[in-house]
């Protein structure tokens, strides 16, 4: 067993399923999931049992309510993994979290591997990066003694962003103390102090939720100085192991900052009581001016010593902060458009650069007329094999030259550009997923196709949508994506910003197969079998079996929807960053397994596009699950199909042309600019 995941659960029914889904979906499958039900009185146990019935990696342990520390200890006692990972029951982890952390930890024989995290505020719905509290050593792998002056400041005193070697925990009998709060402070820092091999994985892999209304504030108030007890247990261990002198400065500095946070966040009625406890403890420490690693923690110490009560302490701290802000500070301006830097009393205002927090990839393999805007990123798909013969023949030199000058390729970094004939535009998705920093780490990421785009103007779309895919697809009468048309359909920066502001996922309106095939009532499997030339229905069945095996949490929604008549069109998406990563981990794990099991060499040219076609079904499955569980806020828009993507408007066609009408029931003949419509005769 590679990793034991330990989850203490107490009255967590609101977020528990989302948390468990993120663990079940891990790309590292050799794990055990130990859930300790800490006397929950809500529906938490029923949720755990439902997951346990579908996935034999779950171990459910019930105990009387004893607190998260005792619950984690219970999990440690039964853990059999090489490494141990803790998850809070309201947090979610990205699909590659355990695989990435385990690979780094095992390859470097680490005692502790730490990753980066996002913090999500439930009340404000703001998401931010959790910063490191100090500078990292230059070496990738370091020991606790290498960071003796920053060990308590560099990494947070919480357990959920760290992968621990099980032998480190068990051989040293490290456990969470039985405290009502702050029990994790002792566990985390004792583990770090005893570690000889620590490393940071600089990937953001965890979404930690804040401001969740549970009983945390109540437990703090029932034992408001528990953090002092936790820190003192750590001090006693350091004294017993003759390590106090090594870590004393950082311990003292961290204690001041930790005490300040507790004083500022505890209820008003307890502030004076807690202040007295803190002052008594720092007298016990016999602190000198040289026992600090920075001036700020020393200022807290001085303010504490001089203070008579909390209000007096707060005034002393404000005076200190005001003094330093007049000398040096970096703040946002009132309108947040500038940074105001104060140096020796001199203020300098610097305009903040605009943040382009949205990227919508446009997949294309030949020159095309594209929408303009700062959020669009044209991506040349299959660039590695661009000069090989495709379904469109051999690419012209001038066309390849245009693509090289006007697009980015999907062939840099980690990529599947050479497999584009099989994955279609999904090779652009894969490239963005694996090289996210190269496109600016946008908050939202999307994919459109040079022929297919979202229509963000519902009124316009409803005027022209076609009956073959009712409510789903629209052939625009203008036939070309000019700037005028872009404004009509909402393909503008302003419209895109508005759409993203109101949703976490944007996908196409569902195609209605029952209407498309009228009386035949064709479901998804039937649609795949009859409408896609060269594709084999056995691959559809293989895909469903793989999903059911690898992702059993999708079983119910597949059984419920797979025989229905609705599906998402194409691979048109816009998603928030963390959702995009979750979706791509699911999508490409399934497609890769299909690719490994199916030999496409004897398939027709269109049949070799199987993986791209199956990706549309996988998107539907993912969206069904999101909708069923109300995981994210979804908006759906119609799909535009652009028939004429030529860069230059064809002059001859405006003078003379013979074309099919939009409904394909008529021939439209253009003579000297005049259009005549003739009903087509029936085929004999």
- What's residue 681's pLDDT? 60
Residue 215: per-residue pLDDT: 42
Other CB atoms closer than 10 Å to residue 597's CB: what's the count?
10
Radius of gyration of the chain (CA): 30
Q: How confident is the model at residue 465 (pLDDT cuts 50, 70, 90)?
A: low
In 3D, which of 12, 6, 9, 51 has the Cα closest to residue 32? 6
Give the pLDDT confidence of 241-268 residue by residue, as tens digits. Answer: 999 999 999 999 999 999 998 998 888 9
Report whether pLDDT(33) > 60.
yes
Predicted local confidence at residue 335, as pLDDT: 57
Q: What is the mean pLDDT of residues 436-450?
A: 90
| Rounded mean pLDDT, 475-481 | 70
Quote the mean pLDDT of the chain. 85
pLDDT digits (tens, 9 = 90+) for 560-577: 888 777 777 678 999 999
For residues 179-183, average pLDDT:
89
pLDDT surpasses 90 at 619: yes
Q: What SS3 string covers 84-134?
A: EEECCCCCEECCCHHHHHHHHHHHCCCCEEEEEEEEEECCCCCEEECCCCC
> pLDDT tens for residues 343-397?
545 556 665 554 558 999 999 999 998 998 999 999 999 998 888 877 777 888 8
- Cβ neighbour number for residue 129 with a 10 Å cutoff: 11
> What pLDDT was estimated at residue 684?
40
pLDDT at 571: 85
| Three-state secondary-structure class, residue 27 | coil
Band of residue 468 on the pLDDT scale cut at 50, 70, 90 = very low
**pLDDT at site 344:** 47
The H-assigned helical ranges of 395-457 are: 397-406, 420-423, 426-434
| Choice between 63 and 513, residue whose per-residue pLDDT is larger | 63
In 3D, which of 655, 661, 658 has the Cα closest to residue 479? Answer: 661
3-state secondary structure of 163: strand
Tell me: pLDDT of 644 over 90.
Answer: no
Confidence of residue 100 (pLDDT cuts 50, 70, 90): very high
Count helices and strands in the chain by DSSP H and E runs: 26, 26
Cα distances from 72 to residues 1, 28, 61, 84, 159, in angstroms, run: 19, 22, 11, 11, 10
**For the segment 312-346, what is each residue's pLDDT rounded down to a tens digit?**
998 888 876 665 555 455 666 655 566 666 554 55
Contact partners, residue 30, CB within 8 Å, separation at least 6:
1, 2, 3
Name the packing angle between helices 13-24 and 44-54 (round to 10°).
20
């Amino acid at each position: 067993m590679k990793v034991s995941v330990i989850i203490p659960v107490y009255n967590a029914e609101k977020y528990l399923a989302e948390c468990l889904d993120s663990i079940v979906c891990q790309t590292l499958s050799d794990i055990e999931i130990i859930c300790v039900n800490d006397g929950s009185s809500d529906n938490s146990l029923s949720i755990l049992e439902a997951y346990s019935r579908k996935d034999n990696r779950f171990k459910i342990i019930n105990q009387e309510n004893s607190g998260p520390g005792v619950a984690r200890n219970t999990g440690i006692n039964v853990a059999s993994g090489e490494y141990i990972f803790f998850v809070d029951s309201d947090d979610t982890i990205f699909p590659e979290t355990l695989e990435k952390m385990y690979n780094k930890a095992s390859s470097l024989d680490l005692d502790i591997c730490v990753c980066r995290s996002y913090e999500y505020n439930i009340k404000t719905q703001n998401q931010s990066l959790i910063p490191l509290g100090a500078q990292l050593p230059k070496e990738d792998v370091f020991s606790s003694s290498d960071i003796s002056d920053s060990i308590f400041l560099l990494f947070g005193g919480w357990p959920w962003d760290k992968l621990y070697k099980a032998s480190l925990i068990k051989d040293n009998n490290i456990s969470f103390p039985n405290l009502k709060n702050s029990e994790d402070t002792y566990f985390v820092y004792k583990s770090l102090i005893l570690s000889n091999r620590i490393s940071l994985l600089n990937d953001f892999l965890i979404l930690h939720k804040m401001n969740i209304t549970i009983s945390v504030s109540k437990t703090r108030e029932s034992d408001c100085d528990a953090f002092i007890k936790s820190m003192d247990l750590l001090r006693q261990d350091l004294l017993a192991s003759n390590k106090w002198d090594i870590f004393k400065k950082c311990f003292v500095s961290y204690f001041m900052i930790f005490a300040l946070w507790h004083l500022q966040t505890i209820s008003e009625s307890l502030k004076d009581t807690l202040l007295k406890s803190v002052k008594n403890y720092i007298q016990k420490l016999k602190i000198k001016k040289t026992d600090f690693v920075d001036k700020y923690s020393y200022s807290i110490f001085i303010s504490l010593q001089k203070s008579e009560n909390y209000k007096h302490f707060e005034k002393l701290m404000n005076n200190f902060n005001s003094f330093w802000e007049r000398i040096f500070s970096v703040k946002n301006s009132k309108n947040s458009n500038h940074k105001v830097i104060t140096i020796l009393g001199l203020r300098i205002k610097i305009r903040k650069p605009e943040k382009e927090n949205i990227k919508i990839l446009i997949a294309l393999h030949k020159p095309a007329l594209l929408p303009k805007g700062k959020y669009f990123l044209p991506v040349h798909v299959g660039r590695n094999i661009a000069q090989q013969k495709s379904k469109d023949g051999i690419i012209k030199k001038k066309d390849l030259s245009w693509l090289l000058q006007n697009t980015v390729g999907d062939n840099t970094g980690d990529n599947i550009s050479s497999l584009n004939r099989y994955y279609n535009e999904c090779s652009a998705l894969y490239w963005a997923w694996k090289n996210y920093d190269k496109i600016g780490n946008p908050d939202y990421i999307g994919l459109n196709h040079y022929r297919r785009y979202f229509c963000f103007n519902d009124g316009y779309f409803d005027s022209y949508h076609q009956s073959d895919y009712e409510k789903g697809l629209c052939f625009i009468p203008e036939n070309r994506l000019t700037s005028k048309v872009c404004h009509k359909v909402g393909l503008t920066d302003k419209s895109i910003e508005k759409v993203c502001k109101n949703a976490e996922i944007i996908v196409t309106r569902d195609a209605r197969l029952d209407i498309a095939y009228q009386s035949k009532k064709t479901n998804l499997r039937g649609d795949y079998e009859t409408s896609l030339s060269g594709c084999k229905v056995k691959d559809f069945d293989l895909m469903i079996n793989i999903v059911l095996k690898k992702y059993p949490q999708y079983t119910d929604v597949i059984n419920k929807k797979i025989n229905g008549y609705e599906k998402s069109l194409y691979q048109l998406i816009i998603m928030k960053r963390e959702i995009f990563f979750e979706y791509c981990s699911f999508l490409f794990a399934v497609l890769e397994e299909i690719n490994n099991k199916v030999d496409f060499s004897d398939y027709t040219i269109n049949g070799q596009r199987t993986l791209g076609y199956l990706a549309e079904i996988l998107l539907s499955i993912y969206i069904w699950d999101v909708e069923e569980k109300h995981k994210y806020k979804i908006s759906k828009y119609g799909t535009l199909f652009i028939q004429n993507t030529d860069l230059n408007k064809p002059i001859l066609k405006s003078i003379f042309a013979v074309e099919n009408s939009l409904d394909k029931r008529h021939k439209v003949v253009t003579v000297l600019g005049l259009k005549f419509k003739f009903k087509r005769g029936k085929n004999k």
